[in-house]
Amino acid sequence: MASTSPSQGLSEARLRVADEAPGFMPIDEARALHDAAAGYLSQPDSVGIGVEIGTYCGKSTVFLGAAAEPVGALIVTVDHHRGSEEHQPGWEYHDTALVDAHSGLLDTAARFRRTMFDAQLESTVLGLVAPSTAAARVWGREVDFVFIDGGHSMEAAQNDYDGWSRWVRPGGALLIHDVFPNPADGGRPPYEIYRQALDSGRFVEASVHGSLRVLTRVG
């Protein structure tokens, strides 16, 4: 179905699919994510691959896939699909509709696949069901960008940064979501890895869109 459909880009139909998918990214930041991804995937030295760390149900993945499809690029989205700490029972973002009756655990994989099917992005988006650390161990090539939006504990954020930022090609981008300089606005781990990226000298800030940071690799 997706392979025979003409490119839709960020069509109204896809916007509706993204809106219906469970998730937490504001629409203005999602559009900025799409535009940033499209820009890096369209550069002359593009390798045609972008990586997302933290799929959940595929809301932000729709925007990435819509950026990749028109230029024939691929999006690899990595998630173990058992949810982050804040998605577990007793926490603020727990959704009982996403609990698998067989295991009794959160399982967002099927909802993600539904989102990609409805968005007609199954030929553009490759879902990698694995912990970020395990996937990083078998990864072996440069990418146009890495978008980090996984677990927000310090351990999870640090693992995502350590495992994946090194694969961003020179001139490519590291995108980090939920960066809040003011501790009163949100958790610290995404901000901490954002600061690490800048302090490393390998990345410079290209743009800011709400809590989304776009950093270009220079070294």
Tell whether 90 is covered by a domain. Answer: yes
What are the residues facing 168 on neighbouring strands?
143
Give the domain CATH number at 121. 3.40.50.150
Q: Note the pLDDT of residue 81.
A: 87
Q: Do 190 and 212 touch, CB atoms closer than 8 A?
A: no
Say what the pLDDT of residue 95 is: 67
Kindly provide the residue ranges of all beta strands, DSSP E only, lying in the chain, ordered along the sequence.
49-53, 74-79, 125-129, 143-148, 168-176, 203-209, 212-217
Q: Please determine, for residue 46, whether its predicted confidence score (pLDDT) is greater than 70.
A: yes
**Taking the CB of residue 26, how many other CB atoms lie within 10 A of it?**
12
- pLDDT value of position 99: 73
Q: Is residue 164 part of a domain?
A: yes
Residue 80 bears catalytic tag: no
Owning domain of residue 105 = 19-217
Residue 179 has pLDDT above 80, yes or no: yes
* pTM to 2 decimal places: 0.90
In a domain, 2, yes or no: no
Instruction: Decide if 13 is inside a domain.
Output: no
Higher-scoring residue by pLDDT: 89, 37: 37
Domains in the chain, number: 1
pLDDT-based confidence at residue 97 (cuts at 50, 70, 90):
confident
For residue 49, is it within any domain?
yes
Within a domain: 202: yes
Please check whether residue 12 lies inside any domain of the structure: no
Name the active-site residue from 81, 152, 177, 209.
152
Query: pLDDT, tens digit, for every residue of 73-84?
Result: 999 999 998 866
In a domain, 1, yes or no: no
